[in-house]
Amino acid sequence: MTEKIDIKGEKDMPAMAMSLGLMDWNKTGSWRNLRPVIDYEKCTRCMICWKFCPDACILIRDEEPVIDYDYCKGCLICAEECPRDAISVVKEE
Ligand code: SF4
Ligand code: SF4
């Protein structure tokens, strides 16, 4: 049986994800070839992308998901999981 995910805020995130993702020396944004971009017209603020990001680099700001590109590696799990197709993918320049 699958356990239900019940994460209500950053305090509920796994400690390793938070500490590794937010330490200044561990910036991983330069690894990215593809960039996820949130379309806030389509986004319903369901926060599924925030729950699934393996690097804990989708932040919640004013009740909206905001991608921290200093840490986003471009794995695109967020785009895959978004139920509204609100995250598009663009080639990194
Ligand atoms: S999963 Fe999609 S709709 Fe939900 S908050 Fe993220 S971008 Fe918005
Ligand atoms: S592309 Fe991957 S690392 Fe970047 S915000 Fe989405 S899930 Fe997180």
- Residue 78 sits in a domain whose CATH number is 3.30.70.20
Judge whether 16 lies within some domain.
Answer: no
Judge whether 79 lies within some domain.
Answer: yes
Best CA proximity match to 23, nearest among 64, 68, 88, 89: 68
Q: What is the pLDDT confidence band of residue 93, given thresholds at 50, 70 and 90?
A: confident
Which structural domain, as residue segments, surrounds residue 71? Answer: 27-91
* Residue 12: DSSP 8-state: G
| Cα–Cα dist 92/16, whole Å | 27
Judge whether 21 lies within some domain.
Answer: no
Residue range 4-59, pLDDT digits in tens: 556 666 666 655 555 454 556 678 899 999 999 999 999 999 999 999 999 889 99
Judge whether 41 lies within some domain.
Answer: yes
Q: Which atom of ligand 2 is nearest to the CA of 67?
A: 5
> What is the whole-number distance in angstroms between the Cα of residue 51 and the centre of ligand 1?
10
Judge whether 1 lies within some domain.
Answer: no
Judge whether 5 lies within some domain.
Answer: no
Judge whether 9 lies within some domain.
Answer: no
